[in-house]
Amino acid sequence: MTGAHVQGAAPSAPRVNPLQRLWLRELGIEKTWLREVAPVASDAALAKAPQAGQGATPAGRADAAPAPVRASAAAAAGADTPAHGVPPTEPPAGDRAARGPGAQAETVPAKPVGAAPSTASEHIKAALAATGRNAAPPPAAAAAPRGPAPYVAETPEAKEARLRQVQTADVETLRGMVTGCEACGLCRGRRNAVFGMGATAPRWMVVGEAPGEQEDRQGLPFVGRSGQLLDAMLASVGMSREQDVFIANVIKCRPPGNRNPTPDEIAACSPYLMRQIALLKPERILVVGRFAAQTLLGTDATIGSLRGRVHHLESDGRQIPVIVSYHPAYLLRSPAEKARSWQDLRLAATLS
């Protein structure tokens, strides 16, 4: 007699329920072990079985009703040989005695050889149905990410109040207004509003069109290759952005894809530029780029017809000379136009 069996009783095979059989089948153990395990009687059938089978002893009853084994234990015990050496086609004698002649076996039919494998979901549904459990509902689909809320244009009352504040703002107040401005839809896509930079009492003011990608990232005007070329142009006439020049744009936020600003965007942003000019009082203004020149001078003329001569802008009761030239980004694409740009710089430098 051993510690696991009662003397005179046949060794019992480990019993698995339908769901455990499914797990073993999904693990690929079914072909080598699962089909050799005797079917498990249902709890109801075991309850109806006689307390003692024909010729069975109390020891036989104890041996015939061990607790079901877990799938992991079954896999470890039977991956190589049948459990306890029991023939694969007949349940152990002790198990038959415990069930009695009237016991009904609860079985899961084996898959026929050569049959197409069913899906995992079909296995799970069948196993859950056999154990009286319902399949859990599929998890709810993740909600689609929501885009930014649509831009709501400022009301006429809000616009009027903002313009009144702009007309009386000092430099730092104006800077704060630009930084937090939501007067047009460009505020939704910007990283930084670009107020401008340079001398606090400039001799020249350079006005560009709108920030590009690098300007949007850094919050500074004319950085990158265009800024390097502009600095070289100013240095050629003895000017620098740190000591002599203030640089700003008509539009303070980058338009998507560097497109041209819309009329509504220009109308919303240009009051900031006009207030900057009134506060800084530059001796002259160099405007670079077509739409910047058209906005500042209130014209739709081409840049070719505007450059090469002196215009004037009235600001706070003063007439400020304005020189129009090509944008540095255009000069990088069209180096042949640098000669005309040099002429424009010389014209601005000779103004008294």
Q: Are 194 and 215 in contact (CB under 8 A)?
A: yes
Average of pLDDT values for 59-74?
Answer: 42
For the stretch 207-266, pLDDT in tens is 999 999 999 999 999 998 999 999 999 999 999 999 999 999 999 999 999 898 999 999
| Residue 314 DSSP SS3 | strand
For the stretch 148-180, pLDDT in tens is 567 788 899 999 999 999 999 999 999 999 999
User: How is 207-239 classified by DSSP, letter by letter?
Assistant: EES---HHHHHHT-SS-HHHHHHHHHHHHTTT-
Q: Worst-scoring range by mean pLDDT, 20-34, 80-94, 111-125, 222-236?
A: 80-94
Q: Which of 202, 210, 273 is nearest to 242 (CA)?
A: 202
CA distances from 94 to 57, 69, 97, 105 (A): 10, 17, 5, 15
- What is the pairing mode between strands 105-106 and 40-41? antiparallel
Q: Are 250 and 291 in contact (CB under 8 A)?
A: yes
Domain locations in the chain as residue ranges: 156-350
Q: Where are the alpha helices (DSSP H) in 113-204?
A: 120-130, 156-168, 171-179
Indicate whether 22 pLDDT > 80.
Answer: no
Q: Which fold has domain 156-350?
A: Uracil-DNA Glycosylase, subunit E (3.40.470)
CA–CA gap between residue 64 and residue 213 (Å, rounded): 80
